[in-house]
Amino acid sequence: MQPIPQPMADILELARWAPSGDNSQPWRFEVFAGDRAVIHVHDTRSHCVYDFQGRATQLAVGALIETLHIAASSIGYRVTITSEAGAVPTHTKHNLGLQPDGAIKSDPLAASITRRCVQRRPLSFRSLTLDQRRALEDAAAPYTLRWLDTPGQRLEMARLLFISAKTRLIAPEAYEVHRAIIAWRSRYSDDRVPDQALGLDPLTLRLMQWVMRSWKRVRFFNRYLAGTYMPRLQLDLIPGLACAAHFALISTSSPRQPEDFVAAGRAMQRLWLTATHLGLQLQPEMTPLIFSWYHDSGTRFSQIEAVQRTLPAIRDRLAKVMGEDVPSHGVFMGRVGWGKQAASRSRRLPLDRLINR
């Protein structure tokens, strides 16, 4: 197999660590030279109910592009990207060019690219400092960060997450996604989410693995044995309380087009890398926002009517807790705080497996 020419190899080796929903890595690289490549992206909306209109993939593409810029700066190169639609809406192409630039300075966030990860376990209640908040707000610009950081605000957000999680756990469409993306009995995974990174205790994990072997088992546990309560308690309510703050990344205008979410993904990645650089941990909290998008667009999230009927309440509660403009102008949500880096995490496919030959 022909080696990837430099400097492209070094830059892509770092850029592949960009975050993507459920570690889907929806991109492949076609390398033509040391300074020229095409990024082929296939969004996951056809099989992932959380990728509403391809927005999760578009955010990930933005994160990838931002990571390319940061990685290139670390070896004295400047990136140019031109994007074009593919033959179908779910496919896009992004032409990547590299140019040496003696004036460019290495971005200090480059050192955080491979360290950035999701921490789903409880964090410290310790507040962010004013300097940390300012650094995160500067990283998010031109987007606005809205904070929920008082005990009462964290409680309201934790309740919203607890309610939203029930919809996630009783929908068969979401079950299919969860079953596909969890790597059981794993500390690390190159292309999925290891179960040890989920934030559940070992006993609940083993029970969950057995239950999730079939939708019939899931329905039985949910209906007769309160099967959603323990996962929601451990994955949503407790972490929702145990953090420094929740936040929403808000656009000045209502995002609609793919390029709007690609741009938001760049800000999201810069925000996340800045949190890592500051020694903070971060976890995305996107499901209330995604459910709100489904509701406001009139698109069905689930064919189960009881599941579908939960969306208006989630959307209204999100607007009440986070602000009336968040369902329409929000592009990313999460929690942040002090804590240890996750001991279990998603890794990435080796670069050779991401190359179209």
User: Domains along the chain?
Assistant: 8-115 (3.40.109.10), 130-346 (3.40.109)
Average pLDDT of span 93-113: 96
> Residue 214: is its pLDDT beyond 80?
yes
- Weakest mean pLDDT among 30-44, 75-89, 199-213, 246-260: 75-89
pLDDT tens, position by position, 29-76: 999 999 999 999 999 999 999 999 999 999 999 999 999 999 999 999
pLDDT tens, position by position, 134-143: 999 999 999 9
> Residue 1: is its pLDDT beyond 80?
no
Q: Which of 128, 117, 119, 116 is nearest to 154 (CA)?
A: 128
Q: Can you give the pLDDT at residue 188?
A: 98
Average pLDDT of span 168-196: 97
Predicted model pTM: 0.97
**Nearest-10 crossing angle of helices 151-170, 172-181:** 100
d(Cα 82, Cα 68) in Å, to the nearest integer? 13
Q: Can you give the pLDDT at residue 111?
A: 97
d(Cα 51, Cα 261) in Å, to the nearest integer? 12
